[in-house]
């Protein structure tokens, strides 16, 4: 064989072998291998992104949604007895009425109580009062100034414990004075223990329900006389208004829900100076024979302010007779 031909054949065979080898390699390549040649990361379109949701949530979404149960709003219950006590404790401790002479307020200064001291003196002497309950007594700033005070066995009651402690210390030297801590809307007044009860500057600072409880407490006590405040009904538009403890309204016990019968007589409960400074108030004090609750017709008389400034004014026929007997009846 020609040596040149031999070399050519070897070259052809080598090329054929290489081509065959390349063909076989190509037939063995997989699609995954093709993809592997693409080095760019594959990011799905945003529309195809689905967050992973727990199976239980998917089940809830696939079923019909049930309406949520109504939310129950729980209002904290306020204990009215605790609220009443806390209110007046706070007023006393912080001098809430803002008076430098008496923590019971401007209505309890010595200057502002001249008329009511003389009024109570008249009641004590005419009705021969021996046992006297002052409820609430407050800080007892003016009461010992009643002319006939030494003739009576005086008991002061108040809802504020520190008031009672203070009064006991202050009047330790007065043998006819004693003090007790009472919530008049809760604690019963001892039965047949008092001839007369004074309730001043209290009811107008309490809810109507509390006021009725206190008046009823006095009436059940067996006391014979009640001395208490009333306001000119025109100031309160001829009605009693419900309030929170410590607030104020123009109280008149002749109007609902108290419906007192007519008092015996009355006077204005303020100094002339106080009247000028407090035209909005017009507070009076009167005496009633107990019982009184529900014995009136729910209407109130308009007091004679000018006559009350000069002295004691009768209301009932009995009151007129008493004042005439005492020489205190003024001609019209």
- Classify residue 12: in a domain, yes or no: no
- Classify residue 74: in a domain, yes or no: no
- How far is 31 from 38, CA to CA, in rounded Å? 11
| Residue in the structure block whose two tokens are 């904290």 | 76
- Classify residue 14: in a domain, yes or no: no
Q: What is the pLDDT of residue 77?
A: 65
Q: What is the pLDDT of residue 54?
A: 40
- Classify residue 17: in a domain, yes or no: no
Model pLDDT for residues 102-125, shown as the tens digit of each residue:
999 999 999 999 999 999 999 999
pTM, full prediction: 0.77
Closest C-alpha among 281, 249, 277 to residue 268: 281
Select the more confidently predicted residue: 273 or 55. Answer: 273
- Classify residue 71: in a domain, yes or no: no
Model pLDDT for residues 217-265, shown as the tens digit of each residue:
999 999 999 999 999 999 989 999 999 999 999 999 999 999 999 999 9
Domain count for the chain, please give it.
1
Report yes or no: 210 and 187 within 8 Å, Cβ to Cβ. no
Burial class (CB in 10 A: 0-12, 13-18, 19+), 96: middle
Model pLDDT for residues 172-203, shown as the tens digit of each residue:
999 999 999 999 999 999 999 999 999 999 99
| Residue in the structure block whose two tokens are 């202050």 | 170
Residue 152 has pLDDT above 80, yes or no: yes
Task: State the residue range of the domain holding 234.
Answer: 80-325
- Classify residue 330: in a domain, yes or no: no
Q: What are phi and psi of 134, to 5 degrees?
A: -110, 105
Closest C-alpha among 269, 276, 251, 250 to residue 309: 269
Q: Retrieve residue 38's tokens.
A: 């693409």
Q: What is the pLDDT of residue 304?
A: 96
Burial class (CB in 10 A: 0-12, 13-18, 19+), 4: exposed
- Classify residue 68: in a domain, yes or no: no
Model pLDDT for residues 65-94, shown as the tens digit of each residue:
566 666 565 555 668 889 999 999 999 999
Helix (H) or strand (E) holding 20: helix 3-28
Model pLDDT for residues 290-318, shown as the tens digit of each residue:
999 999 999 999 999 999 999 999 999 99
pLDDT band at 27 (very low <50, low <70, confident <90, very high): low
Mean pLDDT of the chain: 85
| CATH number reported for the structural domain that contains residue 205 in this entry | 3.40.50.150
- Classify residue 210: in a domain, yes or no: yes
């Amino acid at each position: 064989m020609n040596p040149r031909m031999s070399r050519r054949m070897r070259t052809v065979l080598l090329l054929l072998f290489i081509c065959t080898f390349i063909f076989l390699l190509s037939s063995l390549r997989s699609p995954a291998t093709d993809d592997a040649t693409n080095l760019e990361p594959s990011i799905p379109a945003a529309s195809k992104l689905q967050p992973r949701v727990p199976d239980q949530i998917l089940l809830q979404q696939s079923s019909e949604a049930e309406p949520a149960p109504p939310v129950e709003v729980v209002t904290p219950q306020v204990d009215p007895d605790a609220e009443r006590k806390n209110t007046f404790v706070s007023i006393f401790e912080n001098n809430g009425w803002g008076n430098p002479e008496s923590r019971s307020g401007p209505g309890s200064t010595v200057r502002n109580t001249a008329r009511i001291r003389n009024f109570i003196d008249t009641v004590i002497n005419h009705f021969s009062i021996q046992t006297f309950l002052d409820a609430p007594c407050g800080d007892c700033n003016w009461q010992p100034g009643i002319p006939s005070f030494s003739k009576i066995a005086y008991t002061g009651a108040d809802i504020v414990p520190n008031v009672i402690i203070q009064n006991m210390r202050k009047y330790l030297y007065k043998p006819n004075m004693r003090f007790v801590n009472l919530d008049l809307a809760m604690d019963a007044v001892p039965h047949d223990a008092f001839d007369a009860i004074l309730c001043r500057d209290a009811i107008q600072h309490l809810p109507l329900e509390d006021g009725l409880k206190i008046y009823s407490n006095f009436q059940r006590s067996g006391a014979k006389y009640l001395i208490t405040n009333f306001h000119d009904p025109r100031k309160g538009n001829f009605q009693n208004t419900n309030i929170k403890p410590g607030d104020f309204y123009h109280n008149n016990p002749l109007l609902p829900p108290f419906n007192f019968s007519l008092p015996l007589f009355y006077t204005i409960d303020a100094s002339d100076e106080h009247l000028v400074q407090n035209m909005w108030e017009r507070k009076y004090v009167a005496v009633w024979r107990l019982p009184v609750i529900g014995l009136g017709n729910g209407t109130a008389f308009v007091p004679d302010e000018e006559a009350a400034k000069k002295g004691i004014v009768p209301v009932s026929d009995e009151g007129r007779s008493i004042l005439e007997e005492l020489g205190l009846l003024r001609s019209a």
